[in-house]
A and B are shown apart, each in its own frame.
Chain A
Amino acid sequence: MTEDPEIVNLDECPIKPALLAGAPVSFVLTLFPLSYALCCLPLVIGGFVATTTFVSKYRIRVEIKVGMKVAILSCLAGFGASTTLYDLLWVAFDYRIGLNWYLELLSNFAQSAPESSRDQLLESIDTLKSHKIGFGVVVQQALTVIVTSGIGGAIGGAVASSLFKKGSLAQ
């Protein structure tokens, strides 16, 4: 592989276009409780899209830490926005996005689960139903957004920055 020796100043590459691409993906994928089926994949995908957009937009190669930073920021923006919307609907209309579907899925799993984990699932269904929004819940959600965006964004950004190695090095 031939590498372009030119070095691009990273300050000349604003991350806004990458955020505009990655954040909506994270937003859509985290708005519904897809985590039950896909674990941290929605956030990994959101971060991957952001870093890929950043790299392809400016035709650059980036170090892992730069790719991770872009991905984590986009995940924070997307997941933060979806959590805010979820809470707004919860407060305003007492409606929680995807809750009925999620509860139905949990009930199905509880029926087919072994006895040891069935009680735990049923308990978590009751907890979910009785949840009320408050300061504690908001703080917990904020922590969730930070921790999970860090994990998913770091993985997605690292993979994207090591996958695309064409163009000038930006640093």
Chain B
Amino acid sequence: MSDLSSAPIPPVGTDDHVRGAGEEGLIVYADLGCPHCAGAWPRLSERPGRLVFRHFPVTSKHPRSPALHAAAEAAGLQGRFFAMVDSLYADRGRVDDPHLWERAKQLGLDSERFEADRRSAEVEARVRRDFESGIRGGVAGTPALFDACTLVAVREREF
């Protein structure tokens, strides 16, 4: 079992998913099954500067999230991570396996490789690594935004 006690979120690394250029920007822990993340995604994507996406699937709440994060990660192995994320957030009603295959085809992915990768232990571990770093960093809801590893915003909610 991993250590899930408090720790700063990791600095941006070479294998992070980064959109945009520059040294400054936001790190977002997001759930691909989360409607609030989907709502925030267009604004986040249009912000100037760098945006780093980290996986934070809350499976109990969004049962398809593991499959969606695995699909994004598998697309990333073919250089289309953010294209898959954009696709998933833009159309949240079609998230079953046939829809994922269709998306992969539309994005020009090698379907066989996509299918193997999204079910691989390596992809699962990569997603879990982000999730655990979010837990250790105190993520308590998605989307959670960090600026230079400091939590700066989380979705407002009523208790």
A-B complex is real: no
Which A residues lie at the B interface, using CB under 8 A? none
**B residues whose Cβ falls under 8 Å from a Cβ of A:** none
